[in-house]
Every structure is written in structure tokens, then in C-alpha cells.
Amino acid sequence: MSVLTRDEAQTRAQLLDVHHYAVELDLTTGDDTFDSTTLIRFSARTPGDTFVELKPVTLRSATLDGTPLDPEALTENRLPLTGLTEGEHELRIDASMRYSRTGEGMHRFTDPTDGETYVYTQLFMEDVQRVFAAFDQPDLKAVFELTVTAPDGWTVLANSITEQQDDGRWKAAPTPLLSTYFVAVAAGPWHSVRTEHAGLPFGIHCRRSLAPYLDADADEIFDVTKACYDRYHEKFEEPYPFDSYDQAFVPEFNAGAMENPGLVTFRDEFVYRSAVTVTERQTRAMVIAHEMAHMWFGDLVTLRWWDDIWLNESFAEYMGFQTVNEACSDRFPDTWVDFGVTRKAWGYDADQRPSTHPVAPDPEAVPDTASALLNFDGISYAKGASALRQLVAWMGEKDFLAGINTHFKRHKFGNATLADFIDSLASATDRDVHGWAEQWLRTTGVDRLRPVVGDGDEKKYWHLTVDQDGDRPHRIAVGAYDRDGSRLVLREQFEIDVPQGDSVAVRAGRRPDLVVLNEGDLTYAKVRFDETSEEAALRGLSRIPDGLTRAVVWNTLRDMVRDGELEPAAYLETALAHLPEETELAVVQGVLGFARTQVADRYTAPEDRPAALATITEIARDLLRRTEDGDSPGLRLTAVRTFIDSATTPDKIASWLDEGTVHGGPELDPELRWRILARLAVLGATDEAAIEAELARDPSASGQEGAARCRAALPTAEAKAAAWSAMFETDDLSNYLFTATAQGFWQPEQSTLVQDYVPRFYADAPAMAARRSPAMAEAAGRYAFPAYAIDAHSLATGQEHLTDPDLTPALHRKLVDQLDDLARALRVREA
């Protein structure tokens, strides 16, 4: 397949104006393919040659201005259009297209619960070509009119309001100007809940088998959606630009969600069929707010080329957390705590790998769509959002929003660049936004801020010097705390600017017991403590009054472990001392997640791992004792999950499974039952018969994934061989079943059993990635990589294979990251 280069896109944009697409899809032609007919009206500014993209099973016919084109001229995914004259043209394409099982193009899914089938599109980046012919680049916007023939009993959703015609076909209203990658269709026997808000139809949709769970949460989903919609209309002067707002929860979705105008698609795990914590509900609310922000930033105003993808994602990430924090504070009191513990850590990790890149990379660094796809990472999302949060702190929210509204007004229904965005912001402030952008958006890496604290004469004053290892200016808050018995009490909080160099602040009184830089987490930087403050933080962390400050401290400790400055065992002991007293659920979940998946499984030497798991289990027990009164169901659920995942002997969790409940609650729902069975499989305490029995109890799609995960985790040579064959020797697994199988395969407890598969990964994964798709390449690199083979030989083997010229870009990028993480784990163990 040919990927589109930036130069090709610029050349085509100079040649063409695309006006209108009429797309007809027939979804009744069988289980493997569907028919796609496309009529494109466009004009050429000058005589010239170009091409249109499509990836058909069969190209039946193509005509340009009524003249047939040779279908054999289609090379890979490009059909040449030669000899264009200046003026108007009409291109008609008739093709058969293949359904996807990997979440790209037109994905088709049959629900094992009831046999109902659903299809939906995911056309991001370059996958529109899997559904219909298009001039596939973001700056050739056009009006789209879709007509869909669907089986009886199906409902068809699209970007605009759809109506069923007398002939049974569904027709969508013409859209405003859209980029090709935003076109969306979702068809099937959906269960739908509808309402109206601000004069617009709102709808939420899911598979019929999930109907009871969607109905149970419909009020919350609509409340969040309406609150965010209203808040955005308070912030933005441009009104919502589309004719309806549908949210479809679709199966086997690769991303968290996709911001298709008027029809946002979400992974249907957000329709909760098992118990979840309030933090997980908050995450769903944030994703709703994130995708709605895209209706303005991304959909109304769209990037010109993929080097500016951060303009979409960083803005939506920032707005998602900020808007939920403002509009849904009654349900979710402080979303920024969760951002600080989870999303921000994602950004810090990504920014310290060899694959790091600027938030806004140089256009030459994104020469084609394949390279652009690699930038959807913690930098484009979390670091970019952190940079915007710092920008708001630096220039003020009033001026920031004024600049944003100028940007919408200047570029609505068009395309814009970083330079356009910065110019709009600069128009609203006297601050040097262009200079700020160069320092924050065009650079890589994480600055480090370290306090130097001292007393003045007779301890009548104290002074703070902030040493910076980095080049960015920071505006930060500093918290000064004193011990009061067992508590830490905030004496004062003050803001300082840390320029490109050291910053000095002089304060009255004796020096505090604890000085916290980046109080309130307003900037993006690694922070450290002075010696006195580190001792106070380790001893009194749970007694720091503000949850966001505790998140900053926990992030600092996390980072110190990763940098070899704090022993993994010391981190676990700190967690044991303070998590039982922690009141922020997001902090508990974040700390336990890092402790379990990184400290115990990667940073701790194999001989010390049982002790690490024992400490984590002890934390879980303490939390279970604390929650016996039932007042903290989310905290108790977190403790139960952690206890299961950390069990080193099967007796306790096996008894829970047999009895169907945890003593004192909760009752075991499907998620907890599969979680226990997966851990029992790792420990060799279950078998195929038990997995099959559980699958009979829960034959849903989630049950199928749970069974695949359990089977791959069984500690037998036969189970591992079967799992490996399913992943790499056939292409039968869907994206979700591949991921579940890979998640079960590698286990630290089974390192000897699977050691021969480590070199096989480097032969089999690249071949599979080349056969299937970028999404499957990413899944192989993320989930099927031998992450627990932490030794010098495994590292050397992987580094040797990085030079393989046949590695697909998506897999190469994941391997670079995984091997860097492996090298870090080795350094931590040696330290």
C-alpha cells in the first residue's frame, strides 16, 4: 500500500477543490464484503494529473466525466486521474469492499450473546479508502451525502440525521464541509435511547445485548453530555456546528473514542456491565467531554496536515478534564487528580524514550501518513494538555479563551496550522505567545525542578532557590508545610516564575518541614525534594491535606523509582504506610497500578518478587478492612481487584469464585469472575474445563475475551503453543481476541516455560504485522511483546532486530518504546 506523503498532499491541494461526495453503501451483499459506489464532484484549478485512493476487493468500474477508466490501472491503493482539464469534473467509482475484523475501515461484529450483527466505520488517517473512494487528506474538505442499504430491522446512524426511505434505504442529510476521515456510519439493530437538548436531537446507542446496562446509565450519560454541551457554549462563541449529537458505543473499537461530527463512536466497554469505580465513571465523562471538544477543535477547525495532530488532541484532552471539572463537579469533584496520576505519567514516560518528539513536531518530521500515525501518544495527548494548562496559568483563562474564539471565527469549516493557532492566541494578550510556543511546543524532554532551601539570619526568614535542569519557563505554585503532630499543615502557598535559569524566593519565618514544587500541578516538569522535604514526604504523605498535591508527591516518588533514585521496595513500603489512609480513589488506583505492573513485575528482581507481591497484598487487605462498612464501594472494588491480581496462592481467590462473593462483598460479577479465573490460570490452579464452564455462564463478547486470556495463561506447553499459533500463524483472531490472548500469554511466573518464544516474537510479529494492519502491528508491539523477559540477552536480541528494514513503522515504534522500558527496568534492578 502506498502511503500519502505531505508533498503529495500539498500538490493535490494546490490542484483540486473537492465539492461533494455522494456515497452509496450496500450492507446486504454478504458477510465478507459490501458494495460501495462513490460520486465525487470536484474541480481542477489548472490542467494536471492526480489520483484517488481506494482499497477494494474488486474495482468494478470507474468513470471520469463519463469516460471509463481502466480498473487495472489501480496500483495498490491509487487510481490515476490523468489529463485533467481546468474546471469541473465528476468521478464515479463502483467497487466491492471488504469488512474488517481489526477495527479499521468498516468493522463487522457478530455478538456471540444473541447472534446479532453490527457494522461501524473508523476512517481515521487513511482508512476511508477501505470504505469508499476519496481524495484522502484532511485539507480537501467537502459536503457528504450518504445512502445506506441495510438489512431489515437495522438502524443506520451517520454524521447527520438519517431517515429511512420508502425503498428501505437510509439517507443521511448533507453534512457541512468535512474532512474525509470524519465520515461515519454505524448500522445494526441498535438499542437506542433518545432525548432532545437545546433544540437538537441527542441519542445514545449500543448493542441490544447491552441494553439493560445502557439504560441503567442513560441518565448519567445524558446529564454529562448536556452539562458539557452547555459549558462549551459558555466558553465558545461559535455554536455547535452540526444537526444532531449521537454517541454510539461500538464493539471491538481500537481507540477510546472517535470524534466523528454528529456521531461520536466509543468503545463499548464504557457501557459498564460490571461494577466500576467513580474514577472509571469519571474517565467516561472525561472522554465524552474530550470528544465533544473536538466538535470545535478538530471538526469545525481541522488540521491542514498531520504534523498538527496535537492541535486536536492536546486541546480536547485539556478541555475534557477542565470541562468535567467545571460542569460535573457534583459527580466528579476534581478530575485533575486523575489527570496528574494517570495521564500525566503517560506523558512523562513517553517524553523520556528515544521516540520522543516535540508536541508540535517540525513538518519535515511528519513526511507521510505512516509517520503521522506514530505520534498518537502520551506527548500529543498528556504533555500537550499539560502545556496548555501551563499556558492558561501563564496568560490567564480569559485571554486564552478569547484567542480560542478568534481561532474558531477565522478558520471555521476550514483548516489551520500551528502558526494560525498561535497568531490567534497572540491577538488576545500582550504575552509573547510565539516565544512560549517555541520553548514549549518545539522542544522535547522533561525539565527537572529541584528546590534548594535554607534558613536566613536567626531563622527569621527562609529562602528557596529552584534549580532547573531544562530550558522552558515555568509558572508554578509552591506549597510550604509544617508538621503539627501527625499532620502536615499548609503554612502558605505562593506562585513564582522559574525562567530559563534559577529562581529565588525569600519568605518570612523559619524554613518549612516540607516544600512542594508545582503545588496544584500547573506545569509539566519532574520535581524533586530537598533532603528535609523528602523525609517529611515519605513519613507524612497521606497527611498532606490536598489531594492534587499528594498526586504530585506520588508522581515524584514514581519518577524517582524509574530513575533509580528510590528503591522499589521503599516505594512499596511508602504505599503500605499511606494508601490505607488515602481518600482520593484516583491516587489509590494509580499507585497500586504502578506498584503491581511495574514495581513488582518489572523493577523488582525475580527473587524479591514474592515479597513485593506480599506487600501489595497486605495493602489490599488493609483497604478491605477499612471498607468493611460499605461506605467506599469503589475503594473496596479496587482492593479486591488488587488482591486477586497479586495472589501468589490460589486458596482465597478460589474460595471467592466457588462462593460467588467476597466475604463482606461485593458479589462477583462477570469481570471479577474472569479476573479470578485468569489469576488461577497463571497459578496453575484451573483448567480448560473450568474455563469452558465459565464461558457457558458468560458467552458474551467479554466472556470470549476472558476465555482467550485464561487459555493463553495456562502454564502448559500445549496452551502456549495454541495461543501462539492463534496470534501469529493464522489471521482468524479479531483485534480484541488477539489482545486478550496476548495479555494472557506472557507471565512472570512462567518465564521458563515461555523463554523459547522470546526470539520467535521477533520473527513472527513482524510477519503478522505486515500481513494484517497498523492496528494489529500496534497490538502486537504493545501486548504480545515479551515484557517480562528482563535480561541483557533479551534486550540485545530486540535491539538487533530493530535494524530489520521490513519492520512496519507501527511495530518499529512500539519496539523502540518497549526495549527502552526494558533497558530502564534493567538499570533500576542494577541500581
Same domain, 101 and 165: yes
DSSP assignment, residue 442?
Answer: S
pLDDT tens per residue, range 43-91: 999 999 999 999 999 999 999 999 999 999 999 999 999 999 999 999 9
CA distance 230 to 232: 5
Instruction: Give pLDDT, residue 683.
Output: 98
Same domain, 104 and 171: yes
β-sheet with 461-469: strand ranges across: 503-508, 461-469, 448-455, 526-527
| Strand 16-26 versus strand 105-110 pairing type | unpaired
CATH at 82: 2.60.40.1730
Distance of alpha carbon 603 from its chain centroid, rounded? 25
Final residue of a domain: which of 410, 444, 478? 444
291 is catalytic: yes
DSSP assignment, residue 331?
Answer: T
Backbone phi and psi for residue 140, each to the nearest 5 degrees, phi listed first: -110, 75
Residue 233 has pLDDT above 90, yes or no: yes
Mean pLDDT of 476-489: 92
Residue 566 has pLDDT above 80, yes or no: yes
Residue 218 has pLDDT above 80, yes or no: yes
Tell me the H-state helices in 179-304: 211-235, 278-294
CA distances from 819 to 137, 354, 807 (A): 33, 10, 15
Instruction: Give pLDDT, residue 2.
Output: 87
Mean pLDDT of 112-119: 98
Same domain, 146 and 279: no
CA distance 159 to 175: 7
Segments forming the whole domain that contains residue 828? 727-831
Final residue of a domain: which of 534, 557, 580? 557
Cell digits of residue 127: 482508512
Secondary structure of 149-194 as H, E, C letters: ECCCCCEEEECCCEEECCCCCEEECCCCCECHHHCCEEEECCEEEE
CA distance 291 to 263: 10
Tell me the H-state helices in 295-368: 309-327, 335-338, 344-351
Residue 374 has pLDDT above 90, yes or no: no
Q: Determine what percent of the chain falls in helix, strand and coil, rounding each to the nearest 5.
A: 50, 25, 30
pLDDT tens per residue, range 722-770: 999 999 999 999 999 999 999 999 999 999 999 999 999 999 999 999 9
Final residue of a domain: which of 403, 429, 444? 444
Same domain, 440 and 516: no
Which residues is 484 bridged to in the sheet? 487
CA distance 650 to 715: 14
CA distance 657 to 673: 6
Nearest to 192, CA basis, from 126, 263, 141, 102: 263
What is the distance between the terminal CA atoms of the chain, rounded to a whole angstrom? Answer: 46
- Return the amino acid letter for 642: T
Is residue 47 domain-resident? yes
Q: Structurally, how many domains does the chain consist of?
A: 4
Instruction: Give pLDDT, residue 675.
Output: 98
- Return the amino acid letter for 248: A
Same domain, 402 and 469: no
SS3 label, residue 730: coil
Residue 503 has pLDDT above 80, yes or no: no
For 196, counting Cβ atoms within 10 Å of its Cβ (0-12 exposed, 13-18 middle, 19+ buried), the class is: exposed
CA distance 136 to 81: 14
Is residue 632 domain-resident? no
A 10 A CB-CB count for 137 gives 26
Same domain, 2 and 69: yes
Secondary structure of 759-778 as H, E, C letters: HHHHHHHHHHHHHCCHHHHH
Backbone phi and psi for residue 201, each to the nearest 5 degrees, phi listed first: -75, 130
Instruction: Give pLDDT, residue 630.
Output: 85
Secondary structure of 700-728 as H, E, C letters: CHHHHHHHHHHHHHCCCHHHHHHHHHHHH
For 158, counting Cβ atoms within 10 Å of its Cβ (0-12 exposed, 13-18 middle, 19+ buried), the class is: buried
Answer whether 717's CB lies under 8 Å from 750's CB.
Answer: no
| Cis peptide bond upstream of 251, omega within 30 | no
Confidence of residue 500 (pLDDT cuts 50, 70, 90): low
Sign of the torsion angle spanned by Cα atoms 488, 494, 500, 501: negative
Is residue 732 domain-resident? yes
CA distance 402 to 427: 9
Is residue 499 domain-resident? yes
CA distance 425 to 404: 7
Beta-carbon contacts of 180 under 8 Å, excluding residues fewer than 6 positions away, are 123, 128, 134, 135, 136, 137, 138, 140, 142
Answer whether 505's CB lies under 8 Å from 459's CB.
Answer: no
Answer whether 236's CB lies under 8 Å from 150's CB.
Answer: no
Is residue 238 domain-resident? yes
pLDDT tens per residue, range 239-248: 999 999 999 9
CA distance 305 to 416: 9
Answer whether 126's CB lies under 8 Å from 4's CB.
Answer: yes
A 10 A CB-CB count for 8 gives 16
Q: Kindly report the CA angle at 105 between 102 and 111, in degrees rounded to 5? A: 55
Residue 502 has pLDDT above 70, yes or no: no
Residue 428 has pLDDT above 90, yes or no: yes
Backbone phi and psi for residue 478, each to the nearest 5 degrees, phi listed first: -120, 130
DSSP assignment, residue 5?
Answer: B
- As a whole number of Å, the CA-based R_g of the chain is 27
Mean pLDDT of 128-153: 98
Cell digits of residue 239: 455554536
Residue 499 has pLDDT above 90, yes or no: no
Same domain, 273 and 138: no
Same domain, 39 and 101: yes
- Return the amino acid letter for 131: V
Report which secondary-structure segment, H or E, holds 121.
Answer: strand 117-122
Same domain, 440 and 463: no
CA distance 678 to 655: 15
Instruction: Give pLDDT, residue 777.
Output: 96
pLDDT tens per residue, range 593-636: 999 999 999 999 999 999 999 999 999 999 999 999 888 999 99
**The one catalytic residue among 291, 584, 705, 778:** 291
Nearest to 804, CA basis, from 764, 776, 773: 764
Q: What percent of the chain has pLDDT over 90?
A: 93
Same domain, 162 and 200: no
Same domain, 47 and 174: yes
Cell digits of residue 532: 528535609
- With 0.95 as the threshold, say if the pTM is over it: yes
Residue carrying the nine cell digits 476534581: 334
Is residue 566 domain-resident? no
Same domain, 469 and 433: no
Is residue 767 domain-resident? yes
Is residue 713 domain-resident? no
Backbone phi and psi for residue 341, each to the nearest 5 degrees, phi listed first: -85, -35
Cell digits of residue 468: 532547573
Please give the mean pLDDT across all residues of the chain: 96
